[in-house]
Structure 1
Amino acid sequence: MDIDLHLGQAIKGLIYGPREDGLACLLEARDLPEPGNGDNRWLELSEILKDCFALLATSAGQRPREILSSYGLTVLLLEDNVEGAVDVLYGGGKKGKNR
């Protein structure tokens, strides 16, 4: 699955994290606030994602990035495979390192 959506258009968030064996995987999907509603949307989003440390999107406005950052949520802008990006965030990313 690719990261291919502007943050302002997202209505679902895929939550990744470590499973019992330490490998990162998809844990759940969460509903996000409807687009629009200005700063309140980003405040609501920061509450919904308060247990997360990063949010991946292809693009995001400066204001949402500022608000989310003030709540400890880093917005990372990239177009990539989500599983590969999550692997890098959780300390992997070196394909074939265990060969």
Structure 2
Amino acid sequence: MVSDACAGEPRPDEEFVRGLDDLGIPYVDSLSAHRGDYAAFSITPEEYRRRYYNGHYTPSGNHLFAFMVKSTFLRWLEPTPPAYAAKSSPLAVRGEALA
């Protein structure tokens, strides 16, 4: 599915994703994130897929996925974990927290 999405094919889960949007259900759209990441490469969609998958995510794929979902997950957490709290937040650790 990632190779097809990177090649510009329509997503097979479009109706499902539209339903989530219509219902206001939060979700992480990793397929869209893969499309955005793929744009930075000069390789074929299949080469991109092999870079991150071998039947499941490779270590590189796990790393990429973690960074794809991090911002979304942080928006869902209240309060923000100290390591990610704004520097001005009372939760910031010695002012070293990431914004």
> Which one has the bigger strand percentage?
1
Task: State TM-score, norm by structure 2.
Answer: 0.27
Structure of higher CA gyration radius = 2
Q: Which has the higher contact order (CA 8 A, sep 6+)?
A: 1
Higher helix share: 2
